[in-house]
């Protein structure tokens, strides 16, 4: 077996996301063969070297799981919130494996959030290279003009650059509010809200219904379900982890 970077080993073993694993290393909480390692380039072999986090040995095999979770509004996408707000942990806290959210949904946004202990999968789902599509149902104030809809589809100039082409359909329009379906292949911070606001139609409600091939389906608010093996395969295929 070839030596691999420690952060990759830790994330694959379900210890933490790759970014979090880097923090663990930098914080001096990781040791290899009894020596604390605090450099990110360090390589080791899982199953051969004695790799420990906070003194606890890393197991070579941990079952990989992915859960679909319907995040309610007024819930933060973390496992712990210093401000004491409701977190994802309150809904999945008793799950027997250490799982964490893939990416983020805003506090006041709702809908599909994937949770996993598979660090490599989580990393790829968030990486811009894989352009994983995410679909949102968006309620905006007013009735967007044709020009505004075209801009949302073709690209909106935001302070961090022009957005990539998006798929858009009008689901329901009324005098005061309109429901849109918007599919993005990038995931910048507060992107849907910033796009709609920039073209003149502020977001009143935001619900994610799909991530890659995974749909929210009939899942109820605050509920979780384990992905079926067919779904898991399709998800892994979407980020090049399966043929």
> Is residue 109 near ligand URA by the rule CB under 6 A?
yes
Pairwise CA distance, residues 58 & 52, whole Å: 6
State the SS3 of the chain.
CCCEEHHHHHHHCCCCCHHHHHHHHHCCCEEECCEECCCCCCEECECCECEEECCEECCCCCCCCEEEEEECCCCECCCCCCCCCCECHHHHCCCCCCCEECCCCCCCCEEEEEEECCHHHHHHHHCHHHCCCEEEEEEEECCCCHHHHHHHHHCCEECCEECCCCEEEEEEECCCEEEEEEEECCCCCCHHHHHHHHCCCCEEEEEEEEECCEECCCCCCCCEEECCHHHHHHHHHHCCCCC
Kindly tell me which of 6 and 109 has the beta carbon lying closer to ligand URA. Answer: 109
Pairwise CA distance, residues 127 & 8, whole Å: 15
**Which listed residue (13, 88, 180, 192) binds ligand URA by CB under 6 A?**
192
Kindly tell me which of 18 and 193 has the beta carbon lying closer to ligand URA. Answer: 193
> Is residue 163 near ligand URA by the rule CB under 6 A?
no
Number of residues in contact with ligand URA under rule CB under 6 A: 8
- Judged by CB under 6 A, the stretch of 20-28, 104-112, 118-126, 159-167 that binds ligand URA is 104-112
Q: For residue 52, report the phi and psi dihedrals to the nearest 5 degrees.
A: -130, 145
The catalytic position among 106, 118, 160, 173 is 106
Under rule CB under 6 A, which residues in 41-60 are in contact with ligand URA?
none
CB 50 within 8 A of CB 57: yes
Residue 106 falls in the annotated catalytic set = yes
**Which listed residue (140, 191, 210, 212) binds ligand URA by CB under 6 A?**
191
**Which listed residue (5, 8, 190, 205) binds ligand URA by CB under 6 A?**
190
Contact map string, positions 197 to 236, toward ligand URA, x by CB under 6 A: ---------x------------------------------
CB of 138 to ligand URA, least distance (A): 9
CB of 149 to ligand URA, least distance (A): 17
CB of 113 to ligand URA, least distance (A): 9
> Is residue 30 near ligand URA by the rule CB under 6 A?
no
> Is residue 105 near ligand URA by the rule CB under 6 A?
yes
- Catalytically active residues are 106
Binding residues for ligand URA, rule: CB under 6 A, are 105-106, 109, 190-193, 206
């Amino acid at each position: 077996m070839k030596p691999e970077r420690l952060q990759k080993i830790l994330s694959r073993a379900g210890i933490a996301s790759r970014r979090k694993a880097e923090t663990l290393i930098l914080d001096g909480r990781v040791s290899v063969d009894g020596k604390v390692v605090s450099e990110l380039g360090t390589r080791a072999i899982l199953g051969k070297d004695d790799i420990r986090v906070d003194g606890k040995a890393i197991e070579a095999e941990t079952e990989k799981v992915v859960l679909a979770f319907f995040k309610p509004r007024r819930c933060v996408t973390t496992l712990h919130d210093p401000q004491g707000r409701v977190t994802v942990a309150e809904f999945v806290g008793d799950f027997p494996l250490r799982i964490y959210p893939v990416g983020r949904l805003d506090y006041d946004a709702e809908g599909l959030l994937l949770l996993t202990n598979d660090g490599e999968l989580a990393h790829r789902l968030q990486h811009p290279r894989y352009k994983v599509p995410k679909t949102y149902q968006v309620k905006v104030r007013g009735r967007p003009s044709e020009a505004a809809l075209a801009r949302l589809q073709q690209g909106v100039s935001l302070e961090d650059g022009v957005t990539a082409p998006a798929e858009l359909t009008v689901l329901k329009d009324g005098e005061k509010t309109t429901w849109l379906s918007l599919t993005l292949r990038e995931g910048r911070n507060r992107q849907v809200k910033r796009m709609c606001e920039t073209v003149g139609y502020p977001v009143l409600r935001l619900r994610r219904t799909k991530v890659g091939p995974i749909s929210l389906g009939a899942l109820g608010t605050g509920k979780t379900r384990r992905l079926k093996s067919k779904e898991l395969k399709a998800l892994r295929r979407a980020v090049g982890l399966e043929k």
